[in-house]
Amino acid sequence: MGNYSDNHICQCLSRILTLRRNSLVTISGDRRKSGEEFVEGVLSLAFGLLELGVVSGDVVAISAFNSDWYLEWLLAVAFVGGIAAPLNYRWSYEEARLAMAVVRPVILVSDESCYMWYSDLQKNDVPSLRWLVALGSPSSDLARWWNVLTPPMIKKHPTRPLLLNYCWASEGVAIICFTSGTTGKPKGVTITHGALIIQSLAKITIVGYSENDVCHFSSCVYLHTAPLCHIGGLSSALAMLMVGGCHVLIPKFDAKLATEAIEQHSVTSLITVPAIMADLISLIRRKDTWKGRETLMKILNGGGGLSFELIKNVIRFFPRAKLISAYGMTETCSSLTFMTLSEPTPETSIQSIQPLQMVDKTKPNRTVGVCVGKPAPHVELKICADGSHHIGRILTRGPHLMLRYWGQIPGKPLDTRNGVWFDTGDSGFIDDHGNLWLIGRANDRIKSGGENIYPEEVEAILLQHPGIIGAVIVGIPDARLSERIVACVQLRQDWQFSENSFSNRELHLSRDTLQNYCREKNLSGFKIPKVFISWRKAFPLTSSGKVRREQVRMEVMSHLQSLNSNL
């Protein structure tokens, strides 16, 4: 990492004052702040934290909806050398308590999204807590246990110059960001100032964020669709702070609020996950007029690949937008690789777009996978494969990596300093052109009849079918095969499904027709699902938009047991 004192996320404050002193920087509800007002808010809060007794290395937990206040707290905590620990407001109280027991915050900052926690939160639950700070109007329940502070009570006008006098925590740690926890308990990932800055620079360079997205906008206008408690939302927010963009903040993602914000504020950039994009497209379809098609210029998608149908709809409803996908994780400070899915040119058309789930023709055994593009300039990747097989675990190293999981002893196996390669837990390969192909999560791998099956590989094939808009593959226990492959499919409107019959009717699917479709797409026989279930509701997702595969698996087992008991 070098000398961490060379990197600090609060370096963006000087740039904001230079570029945006009198221009709008944040829009949050009825509040509008210029660059000067925003920086003054950060500095007065930082000075107040110093007066309160917060010192370098102290952890401040933040659990709240997205707002300009959230951004101020992230920067103010970093300014005084503290470490921000964003907590997920969707957690239960017990999950939040366990997370705070790990990171030991001295302050908990929250708003109405988590006031229900406070009725259970007593001083002996989190002994490290010295202060509770309520954003907005505090709940009356808080007074039973705590002397509650509000930001106006903390903020102090600096009596000495602070702008260049920011501090660092030990090892240059900036935040503790929790994993989204698709399985097991979320873990606190220790991320440095340097990792956040280099990730931001990669996004600025590759996505093409700039002060002026197009000539008739005064700045890049960025809509916060992702929660700031997730690394995707955090790293993109910092990239916008560094580039001098204008931040439009809605409390949490809501398709109606988001589309209204895009039109009202001429939003030029946003990030999505597939679920967010699907909700946006669904709502936009029903609009008589859609002004956002003229303003949106950059869309960065993460948290899973967009279906072919969604990509076509992005081109249709956001014709001026460059659409880029990113692959990464919390431990790598967000994105490892990037891939342009669509870029508006005179030649771009819906017909010219091809599905991204395809066969890699550079390999003799025709492996099916998902191409996730090339690594960012600062990222090293390699494949740890068994023998001569080209598929293996995806490893990475570089300045983008976390230091370790919070609470882990320095120097132990998961410490990523000194050039240690980090195992992403994903399996894939790198083709002859340097593109990374993702096969799937190693932990999600299904073992059936002695063969390894990656769910994402099968899902990629099914999602190419015109009647399918969603697919999740799981393995369930099987006495003969060890695991049996089950496909849960969501059908497009007007399509129908029957369990076990061929039909020449249009808009009709069955187990047999889908199995034949998989064969036509050259999917190996042992990878073809034995059971298909028509899934009539939304797939359960984490708050970062990833499928909770284990929950789907449990629901499938319960469903099949119920069917068997009725026979």
Residue range 297-310: mean pLDDT, rounded? 85
What tokens does 236 get? 């993109």
* pLDDT digit string, tens, across residues 305-335: 787 888 999 999 999 999 999 999 999 999 9
* pLDDT digit string, tens, across residues 485-521: 999 999 988 898 886 565 556 788 999 999 999 988 8
* pLDDT more than 90, % of the chain: 52
- Confidence at 560, pLDDT banded by 50, 70, 90: confident
The helix-helix angle for 68-79 and 35-52 (nearest 10°) equals 50
What DSSP assignment string belongs to 284-297? Answer: HHT-S--GGGGT--
Whether the CA torsion 235, 441, 303, 63 is positive or negative: it is negative
- At 388, which helix (H) or strand (E)? none
Query: What are the extents of the domains in the chain?
Result: 4-352, 448-567
Q: Could you tell me how far CA 357 lies from the centroid of its own chain? A: 21
- Confidence at 146, pLDDT banded by 50, 70, 90: low
**pLDDT, position 366:** 47
Q: Does the pLDDT value for residue 272 go beyond 70? A: yes
What's 307's DSSP letter? P
Find out whether 54 and 141 touch, Cβ atoms under 8 Å: no
In residues, how long is the chain? 567
Does domain 448-567 fall under CATH 3.30.300.30? My reply is yes
**pLDDT, position 47:** 93
| Listed range (45-59, 118-132, 328-342) with the worst mean pLDDT | 118-132
pTM: 0.81
Segment 210-213 long-range contacts (CB within 8 Å, at least 24 positions apart): 210/243, 211/19, 211/243, 211/244, 211/245, 213/268, 213/269, 213/297, 213/298
**pLDDT, position 416:** 61
* pLDDT more than 70, % of the chain: 84
Q: Does the pLDDT value for residue 388 go beyond 90? A: no
- Confidence at 5, pLDDT banded by 50, 70, 90: low
**pLDDT, position 503:** 54
Residues 6+ apart with CB under 8 A from 409: none
Residue range 526-540: mean pLDDT, rounded? 91
Average pLDDT over the chain reads 85
**pLDDT, position 522:** 78
Neighbour-count burial of 345, counting CB atoms closer than 10 A to its CB (0-12 exposed, 13-18 middle, 19+ buried): exposed
**pLDDT, position 123:** 67
How many Å apart are CA 215 and CA 217, to the nearest integer? 6
The helix-helix angle for 511-520 and 455-462 (nearest 10°) equals 100
Q: Tell me which architecture the domain covering 4-352 has in CATH.
A: 3-Layer(aba) Sandwich (3.40)
Select the more confidently predicted residue: 164 or 453. Answer: 453
**pLDDT, position 143:** 59
| Listed range (213-227, 281-295, 389-403, 524-538) with the worst mean pLDDT | 213-227
How many Å apart are CA 490 and CA 52, to the nearest integer? 54
Find out whether 473 and 485 touch, Cβ atoms under 8 Å: yes
**pLDDT, position 481:** 73
**pLDDT, position 358:** 45
Residue range 271-287: mean pLDDT, rounded? 89
Q: Does the pLDDT value for residue 17 go beyond 70? A: yes
CB atoms within 10 A of CB 398: 21
- Confidence at 479, pLDDT banded by 50, 70, 90: low
Intra-chain end-to-end CA distance of the chain, in Å: 63
Residue range 347-360: mean pLDDT, rounded? 50
Residue range 198-216: mean pLDDT, rounded? 80
Task: Tell me how many degrees the CA angle 158-162-167 measures, rounded to the nearest 5.
Answer: 125
* pLDDT digit string, tens, across residues 39-51: 999 999 999 999 9
**pLDDT, position 186:** 72
**pLDDT, position 247:** 97
- Confidence at 105, pLDDT banded by 50, 70, 90: very high
Distances (CA, A) of 297 to 209, 270, 303: 9, 9, 20
What tokens does 522 get? 């050259």
Distances (CA, A) of 347 to 174, 251, 350, 353: 44, 38, 10, 11
Q: Does the pLDDT value for residue 293 go beyond 80? A: yes
Bridge partner residues of 325 (DSSP): 301, 339
Name, of 178-182, 183-187, 193-197, the range with top average pLDDT: 193-197
**pLDDT, position 357:** 46
How many Å apart are CA 80 and CA 183, to the nearest integer? 35
Q: Does the pLDDT value for residue 457 go beyond 50? A: yes
